[in-house]
Chain A
Amino acid sequence: MHRRGVGAGAIAKKKLAEVRGAGTPLGECFWSMSKQLDMFKTNLEEFASKHKQEIRKNPEFRVQFQDMCATIGVDPLASGKGFWSEMLGVGDFYYELGVQIIEVCLALKHRNGGLITLEELHQQVLKGRGKFAQDVSQDDLLRAIKKLKVLGNGFGIIPVGGTYLIQSVPAELNMDHTVVLQLAETKGYVTVSEIRSSLKWETERAKQVLEHLLKEGMAWLDTQAAGEPQYWLPALFTELYSQEITPEEAKEAIP
């Protein structure tokens, strides 16, 4: 196609070609795209009428669906106005989950500094959703969280020991911090000596990382521990104990 048609005649011809959508390769493409889109919409409607329930009820199927979409370069959760969301109803499910995740993280932030295990988040979200809501899997939570990242609030997913820590505050956590979190995962706390022996770091480096976590409220310092001070991670507390204490019991327990 010519760059800029010189003269009124050329311009008019160009306009006509655009309107007709033929003769210009790009115009043809758009026409073709429009037709294909309509056809795809029909196919998706058919699929939805047969399998919409399956997606709603079967978390493994949801995972398969999401993975296949990712493989071909499609994001079914990108927009609430997308076909996938509108016809399969996947959108509302995940976007609502996003709201619930934000609310749980906000409610617990004062206690864990904005770090929470996927397990605890899962439990709290289920509690909040109530008895009549649809069940959600941990995979569902992770997908919802990945979408929340775009809101700029510092949502992040940190792998630790077979599970994940979810970050919900814009605190900078680099590789050093992550590695120390992973080290702390087994016992819920970590000491400077442990970091030195396991990671072969200098004391200074270990201290910097621990102080950063303290500052962000993600770690608490126990100076009364036997031996050296212990840095505890409240995010990991519930992992360790099989006994669940209600807030009332906790209040009574404190003298």
Chain B
Amino acid sequence: MDRFAWTSGLLELGETLVVQQRGVRLCDGEEKGKFDSGVLLLSTHRLIWRDQKNHECCIAIPLSQIVFIEEQAGGIGKSAKIVVHLHPASSNKEPGPFQSSKYSYIKLSFKEHGQIEFYRRLSEEITQRRWENMPTGQTIQVNKDPRAGRIRAVGIVGIERKLEEKRKETDKNISEAFEDLSKLMEKAKEMVELSKSIANKIKEKQGDITEDETIRFKSYLLSMGIANPVTRETYGSGTHYHMQLAKQLAGILQTPLEERGGIMSLTEVYCLVNRARGLELLSPEDLVNACKMLESLKLPLRLRIFDSGVMVIELQSHNEEEMVASALETVSEKGSLTADEFAKLVGMSVLLAKERLLLAEKMGHLCRDDSVEGLRFYPNLFLTQS
């Protein structure tokens, strides 16, 4: 930790921020110390750490000080870490928090995660050595001879050897995983080919395939994650799974819909349903495919798609066109309203408020005033006052 120097934390000219992460603890070798909660910033030139509780406390180390880095996986109760091995401090280093240290490495402990990205970016910066091309205003001692650094830092060789062994072991595991993955993919590819030939046969024999076969085929595709190559059929979209799902949704969404004025956007539904499930979540496509079946299954909900592409679920009893009439009243009372204002008044999401106003406009009840200040709706006086 004696390689660190106090800094203002402001970036120099020519220095760019690459990535930052909160909740990082700085350790001097194996010792925890006082730098336990800060924001760690990586720039093209330096590694900067700022205390989250005391912003005045800000220290930095030039990237040129780094010999190499390694990852330490986290575990239960243990955060993931990056170990940064350093060259000895240069003699003309600016003053910092530590005068000396018995360790030639520091540990960055990621208490709030983010180590994957940070490690990736830090590796990139160390490899690219962009600081050499972009000299900054501050005089940072650039250690141009890594070899000299290595000879001076005793004990690094042993660490490197251990690292090499660990890398080989990891590589072996990874390559075994990749090999198995490749074999698996070969088999999956055969499945895709087979499904294509079936799809072709189905197209040729339009009308001679039973409903049961169609549904079975679709469920094969679903299991494998293969897109349905046959265009829309007469037996409706989706599989048994989606039919069941549609019925479940009708049950789950009845009350929430009633609480929200009879209408909800599909993203709201997605979040609501998945939060409630906790496990075995629905994919966005599962949800859409199930909703497409609501009407044909005569369930009390339906899917509606607005011109803008926004998708909503409505209670069958909900009539958006009727809601438009009351929207017109509200707008008339206030003279004019934006989607934001209307949403606040009525207690709807801005997204759905906008759709309602747009629908009212489409039906001729409202006029728009489209300016830099936003989109504002007025009662359509052309209609009522002529």
**Chain A contact residues, CB within 8 Å of chain B:** 1, 3, 18, 25-26, 29-30, 32-34, 36-37, 39-41, 43-44, 47, 50-51, 54, 57-59, 61, 64-65, 68-69, 71-85, 91-92, 95-96, 98-99, 102-103, 109, 119, 122-123, 126-127, 129, 131, 133, 135-138, 147-154, 169-170, 211, 214-215, 217, 221, 239-240, 242-244
Contacts and interface: CB of A to CB of B under 8 A. Distances in A.
10 contacts: A74-B226, A75-B226, A78-B227, A79-B286, A91-B281, A99-B274, A151-B311, A154-B309, A215-B373, A243-B10
Nearest to A100: B271
A74 B283 contact: no
A30 B9 contact: no
Contacts of B275: 99
A96 B274 contact: yes
Given A72-B192, A243-B55, A151 B201 contact: no
A29 B280 contact: no
Contacts of B194: 29, 32-33, 36
Contacts of B217: 30, 33
A29 B17 CA distance: 57
B9 A243 contact: yes
B374 to A, nearest CB: 6
A82 B197 contact: no
Contact of A47 (B113, B181, B223, B310): B181
Contact of A152 (B50, B55, B281, B309): B309
Contacts of A99: 270-271, 274-275
B224 A37 contact: yes
B293 interface: no
Interface in B100-158: 111-117, 120
A65 B180 CA distance: 11
A61 B178 CA distance: 8
A92 B371 CA distance: 43
Given A51-B177, A242-B10, A135 B270 contact: no
A129 B283 contact: no
Interface residues of B, number: 92
Contact of A242 (B17, B191, B197): B17
B113 A129 contact: yes
Interface string B258-271: 00000001110011
B280 A92 contact: yes
A37 B283 contact: no
B48 interface: yes
Interface in B200-233: 201-202, 205, 208-210, 213, 216-217, 220, 222-227
Contacts of A95: 274, 281-284
Interface stretch (B26-34, B182-190, B329-337, B378-386): B182-190
Given A82-B225, A170-B309, A72 B188 contact: yes
A193 to B, nearest CB: 19
B181 A68 contact: yes
B182 A135 contact: no
B314 to A, nearest CB: 14
Contact of A68 (B185, B202, B208, B280): B185
Contact of B284 (A39, A61, A98): A98
Contacts of B266: 151-153
Interface-centre pick from B23, B80, B173, B224 (highest chain A CB count, 10 A):
B224
B308 A170 contact: yes
The DSSP consensus for interface residues of chain A is helix
A170 to B, nearest CB: 5
A188 to B, nearest CB: 12
Contacts of A217: 374
B279 interface: yes
A30 B216 contact: yes
B163 interface: no
Nearest to A152: B311
B285 interface: yes
B297 interface: no
Contacts of A51: 177, 180-181
A34 to B, nearest CB: 8
Given A68-B182, A126-B113, A242-B43, A73 B192 contact: yes
A244 B201 contact: no
A211 B271 CA distance: 33
Given A64-B178, A73-B226, A79-B225, A40 B188 contact: yes
B225 A72 contact: no
Interface-centre pick from A76, A78, A119, A122 (highest chain B CB count, 10 A):
A78
B11 A242 contact: yes
B331 to A, nearest CB: 19
B191 A37 contact: yes
B20 interface: yes
A147 B283 contact: yes
A122 B209 CA distance: 48
Given A135-B115, A150-B285, A30 B225 contact: no
Given A72-B185, A215-B370, A153 B267 contact: yes
B375 A215 contact: yes
B187 to A, nearest CB: 6
A80 B280 contact: yes
Contact of A147 (B41, B79, B191, B285): B285
Contacts of B373: 215
A95 B195 CA distance: 26
